[in-house]
C-alpha cells in the first residue's frame, strides 16, 4: 500500500503565509469575536501558527495562544505554545478557551471523529466563547487547477458538503459568512506550490501526475495568476 503523505506546505511560502493574507484574515476574525489581552485561544491544525502568532503580537495575551497539529514543522512560530498532538486527545484536557479556531482542518476527520471533535470543543469553551470553522468554498471554487487536480478537489468538496451537514446538526445554532482574499501570484511560484503539494487533493498523486499537471498549468495560465480564495466560515457561540 502506498504511504499517504502528510500536508506540510499549505502555509509555507504560499499566499496563506503572506503578511497580507494573515492581516486580512485577522481583520475578518475581529468581526467575529472581540479579543483582548485576557482571551484564551486554541488553534486546531495550526501548521506553522502564523495566524495565532500575529494575534499574539497584536494583543499580547496573558496566556500565549495554543496551537496543536499532528505535524511538527521546524519553523513553527516561537511566541505561541505548540503541541504535537491529536486534537481529540488534547481536547479531553479540562482547559477552557474563548476562541477555538478550526481552519481548513476539519475535512481530515471522519464523520464520527468530527462529531467527537465538535462535542469536545463545545465543552472547552468559556461562557460566550466561540468556535470558528473555516473550510474551502464548495460551490464555484476558483482555485487554479489542472484536470486531475480539479477532479480530486471536486471529490473532496463534495465530502465537505456532507461534513457541513454534520456540523449544522451538531452545533445547531450557527451562522455562515465568507472570507474572501484576492490572490495575485506568479505562475512560477504557483508551480512550486503544486510541486510541494500545498493542498490535500495533491497529496497522493504520483510524481508523474504532478509533472503532467504542471505542464498543463504552464499552458493554461498567464505569467501572473489572479483569483479569489474563498473560505466558508461557520460560527458557533456558546
- CATH architecture of the domain 15-185+229-237 equals 3-Layer(aba) Sandwich (3.40)
| pLDDT number for residue 202 | 94
Q: What is the pLDDT of residues 11-37, one digit of tens each?
A: 677 888 899 999 999 999 999 999 999
Q: What is the mean pLDDT of the chain?
A: 93
Q: What is the dihedral of CA 104, 221, 22, 166, to 10 degrees?
A: -20
Closest CA to 206 of 148, 147, 125: 148
Domain ranges of the chain: 15-185+229-237
How far apart CA 110 and CA 19 sit, in angstroms, is: 32
Q: Residue 178 in contact with residue 117, Cβ under 8 Å?
A: no
| pLDDT number for residue 108 | 87
- CA atoms within 13 Å, Cβ hemisphere of 85: 16
* pLDDT bracket for residue 3 (50, 70, 90): very low
Burial per residue of 24-59, b for 16 or more beta-carbon CB atoms within 10 angstroms, e otherwise: ebbebbeebbebeeebbbbbbbbbbbbbbbbbbeeb
Q: Residue 100 in contact with residue 197, Cβ under 8 Å?
A: no
| pLDDT number for residue 2 | 36
Q: What is the pLDDT of residues 111-143, one digit of tens each?
A: 999 999 999 999 999 999 999 999 999 988 999
Helix or strand or coil: residue 148? helix
Q: What is the pLDDT of residues 136-185, one digit of tens each?
A: 999 889 999 999 999 999 999 999 999 999 999 999 989 999 999 999 99
Amino acid at each position: 500500500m502506498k504511504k499517504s503523505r502528510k500536508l506540510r506546505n499549505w502555509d509555507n511560502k504560499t499566499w496563506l503565509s503572506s503578511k497580507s493574507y494573515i492581516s486580512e484574515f485577522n481583520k475578518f476574525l475581529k468581526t467575529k469575536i472581540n479579543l483582548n489581552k485576557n482571551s484564551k485561544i486554541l488553534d486546531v491544525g495550526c501548521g506553522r501558527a502564523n495566524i495565532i502568532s500575529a494575534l499574539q503580537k497584536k494583543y499580547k495575551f496573558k496566556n500565549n495562544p495554543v496551537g496543536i497539529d499532528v505535524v511538527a514543522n521546524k519553523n513553527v512560530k516561537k511566541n505561541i505554545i505548540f503541541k504535537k498532538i491529536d486534537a481529540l486527545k488534547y481536547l479531553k484536557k479540562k482547559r477552557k478557551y474563548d476562541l477555538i479556531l478550526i481552519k481548513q482542518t476539519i475535512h481530515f476527520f471522519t464523520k464520527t471523529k468530527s462529531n467527537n471533535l465538535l462535542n469536545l470543543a463545545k465543552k472547552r469553551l468559556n461562557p460566550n466563547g466561540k468556535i470558528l470553522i473555516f473550510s474551502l468554498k464548495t460551490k464555484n471554487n476558483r482555485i487554479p487547477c489542472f484536470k486531475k487536480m480539479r477532479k480530486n478537489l471536486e471529490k473532496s468538496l463534495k465530502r465537505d458538503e456532507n461534513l457541513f451537514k454534520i456540523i449544522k446538526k451538531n452545533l445547531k445554532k450557527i451562522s455562515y459568512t465568507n472570507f474572501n482574499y484576492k490572490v495575485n501570484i506568479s505562475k512560477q511560484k504557483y508551480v512550486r506550490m503544486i510541486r510541494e503539494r500545498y493542498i490535500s487533493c495533491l497529496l497522493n498523486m504520483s510524481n508523474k501526475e504532478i509533472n503532467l499537471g504542471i505542464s498543463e498549468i504552464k499552458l493554461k495560465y498567464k505569467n501572473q495568476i489572479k483569483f479569489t480564495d474563498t473560505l466558508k466560515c461557520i460560527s458557533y457561540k456558546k
